[in-house]
Structure 1
């Protein structure tokens, strides 16, 4: 694993014991598709808690069964979760359990296995994305090129408040992403050792999309 003390300041490793425990179960080769999907959803919900701990609040007047009071509620427009297809949906679904009112956008990117560069094939975003906090999700930050490309597309679409969340990151991917977007906070559950010659994270957990949807 990478030494977290050497990570860029914008990178947060979520070290909650429940996250670490569930991630270990998620990594195991014998974890069935249904269990993998459930664990990914549970970890994502816990990640959403960490990503949103500084959301702005305001006071509103409510009436309890006993009296009227000033109570805190979220301020401003609801946030937006943007999934990098297809594997990002496994993270977005978990976050939506905690944030059911969030808007959802999708960016379709696939990795060219020769160049390891992203190729866009789909994009659908809320029209007012520039007014919302946008959480971009993808289970794996490997080479970092897809995440960097997705963030660039969102900035072009008007997004100004961006955060990126993943289950696992490689040092190489973090370097690419933080260099391309030094203004975007990055949240991950672990930083693994390195990429292999195929661009897979080691020790990693395999192909997140295939394991989420049972396609391999």
Structure 2
């Protein structure tokens, strides 16, 4: 597993406003999108490309274009949806899949309740987006799900991460997968309820409001 923690003053500034409990949902959504675009720039550094001969107004040149099959962006529902716009702004030609996973708050088990993915992900560069990397259970389950469909190149993009979650990913993700993690910040710890400290609260609720 390769971990990248962004180190940039704009990231620090935007993350501070994002964490503030007084930041309204509309601003929170905008900041998530902006931060993900900054993360995506780093996360897509190793996208595969191929030669693309073109002619400029002055002369012919061999440029580059993204290789096929197209990269796939997979938000983990529901909070991951808030990161989708920031990803597709940078990679508008990417395909989008969806994976619905949630944590049972009493047992902490991961429940998969929806998926909209190709049966075969062989040869795809896959980007999984989820704002919070807490216990790591959701991401481990998601990556195993993708591995079963042939994915071998997976990058997880999260806003913040707890050290416990990162440790679990390092331990439990199959080492045969080329697995990378990009985050804006690594926080201090998880509390007794498995929430990230200092964190930013429940990302889904802050993006979309409370769900009864």
For residue 163 of structure 2, what is the aligned residue in structure 1?
171
The answer on whether the counterparts of 1:60 and 1:71 sit within 8 Å (CA) in structure 2 is yes
SS of 1:39's equivalent in the other structure is helix
SS of 2:182's equivalent in the other structure is strand
TM-score normalised to structure 2 length: 0.93
Q: Does 1:197 align with 2:195?
A: no
TM-score normalised to structure 1 length: 0.92
Paired with 1:146 and 1:75, the residues of 2 have a C-alpha distance of 29
- For residues 135-146 of structure 1, the aligned pairs below 5 Å read 135-146=127-138
SS of 2:97's equivalent in the other structure is strand
For residue 207 of structure 2, what is the aligned residue in structure 1?
212
How far apart are residue 20 of structure 1 and its match? Answer: 1.7
For structure 2, list consecutive stretches of 5 or more residues without a partner in the other structure.
Answer: none
Q: How many residues align?
A: 208
Paired with 1:39 and 1:169, the residues of 2 have a C-alpha distance of 17
For residue 6 of structure 1, what is the aligned residue in structure 2?
none
Q: Does 1:34 align with 2:26?
A: yes
Higher mean displacement: 9-18 or 188-197: 9-18
Q: Deviations over 1:96-146 (max 9, x none)?
A: 111111111111111111111211101111344222100111000001111
Q: Does 1:50 align with 2:45?
A: no
CA RMSD of aligned residues (A): 1.4
Runs of 4 or more above 4 Å deviation = none
